Amino acid sequence: MEFLIDNNISPKVADSLSQNGFGSVHVKKLGMSAATDDAIFGYANENNLTIISADTDFGFILSTWQFNRPSVILLRHISPLPEIQAKYLLNVIDKFATEIEDGSLLVITPEKLRIRKLPLF
């Protein structure tokens, strides 16, 4: 399982995921810091990457998307500290790998996790 980390998440989160055995790349490393959400979504789709972001626009993109890839993991109201974000992510990835691989929107908050299978409609 491999991940594309959006601009609003620290590159340190990508490093942490990589150190824990997951392929992970930050959009900055790809030269996509100024890329639109649609471009990031397209890149993830073409390269079979799961997007990790704090940007709810990806949920909107998925609401019109008719396919089950790419999966998107949204961090909502999670501390901006990379080590805390990585802790939440590693826990969810470990427990819900099948859902991520099958195509889902996962919304992580401090209180709960919501999972919706793709496509959303």
Q: 52 forms bridges with which residues in the sheet?
A: 5, 73
- What are the contacts of 55-60 at 24+ separation with CB within 8 A? 55/6, 55/8, 58/6, 59/105, 59/107
**Residue 25 is which amino acid?**
V
**pTM listed for this prediction:** 0.95
Q: What is the pLDDT of residue 60?
A: 85
The residue extents of the domains of the chain are: 2-117
Encode the chain (121 residues) as per-residue pLDDT tens digits: 999 999 999 999 999 999 999 999 999 999 999 999 999 999 999 999 999 999 988 888 888 888 889 999 999 999 999 999 999 999 999 999 999 999 999 999 999 999 999 998 7
3-state helix, strand, coil in the chain (%, to 5): 40, 20, 40
Place of tokens 């999972």: 115
